[in-house]
Amino acid sequence: MRKKKEKRLILNADDLGVSEEVNETIRRYFLARTITGTSIMACGARFNEACSMMRGIGRDEIGVHLTFTGDPAPCAGGRFVPGYVQLALKYFSGRIKPDDITLEFETQIKNILAEGFRITHLDSHEHVHMMPGIFKIVSGLARKYGIPYIRIPNEPVRSIIKSFRPIDLIRYTVLKSLAILNYKHAGITRNTAFLGHFHSGRITDDILSFLISSLPEGVTEIALHPGS
């Protein structure tokens, strides 16, 4: 009989540093022991305050929420593209070079290390690190800086049943395909399963209970996007 593997749960709050409200919510989550970790946006508008907050509650470990889309100002200068689709179009057409992404992501990592934190893992805004080519950049940076873990958003299909929307099937298929493509060649520690992408911004107590009750064997990460 096959011996069952242990089940381990990571509850990670994304978007630390994006706003005062998110910073405060994550602070409360840590004090209440609601979460096990967080990922910070080095280019977030409230990055400095987030670093001070983390030190104030005795937290010296943090994940990096790598960012190349949206409103924040890039750490290495220039402007981000509006969203995932625009990034994909510009990256695969050669208008955004691999060196541009490497420079920005490495600058974000360096800025966090300069604040004295130990980096626990890498993930990204809109899961842009899962794009072919970009994942190679991110895994290379992880090895360079001794970062032991990269988030792989390989969400089990049963997790989207609780509040299914038709658009989720397309998103699920794309992310699942990228996950399979990337983690086979990652050469770095990763989660077994990931939950939360398809409920982003709408995880209720009921949905969270459902997700936790259906954990697979191995390491499962649930990503939370706290509001006020």
CB 142 within 8 A of CB 150: yes
Q: Which of 29-38, 64-73, 184-193, 199-208 has the lowest mean pLDDT?
A: 199-208
CA 160 to mean position of chain CA atoms:
18
177 has a pLDDT exceeding 90: no
Query: For residue 224, what pLDDT is reported?
Result: 87
22 inside domain: yes
Q: Which of 6-20, 53-67, 168-182, 190-204 has the lowest mean pLDDT?
A: 168-182
For residue 162, how many other CB atoms are within 10 A of its CB?
Answer: 15
Domain containing residue 197: CATH number:
3.20.20.370
* pLDDT class of 131 with cuts at 50, 70, 90: confident
228 has a pLDDT exceeding 60: no
21 has a pLDDT exceeding 70: yes
Structural domain harbouring 194: 7-224
Q: pLDDT digit string (tens) for 186-226?
A: 667 777 788 766 555 556 677 777 777 777 788 888 888 88
Averaged pLDDT for residues 70-79: 92
69 inside domain: yes
Distance CA 209, CA 140 (A): 36
pTM assigned to the model? 0.85
158 inside domain: yes
75 inside domain: yes
2 inside domain: no
135 inside domain: yes
Mean pLDDT of the chain: 85
* pLDDT class of 25 with cuts at 50, 70, 90: very high
Q: Which two tokens stand for residue 73?
A: 């100002």
164 inside domain: yes
Structural domain tally of the chain? 1
Q: Which two tokens stand for residue 216?
A: 């697979």
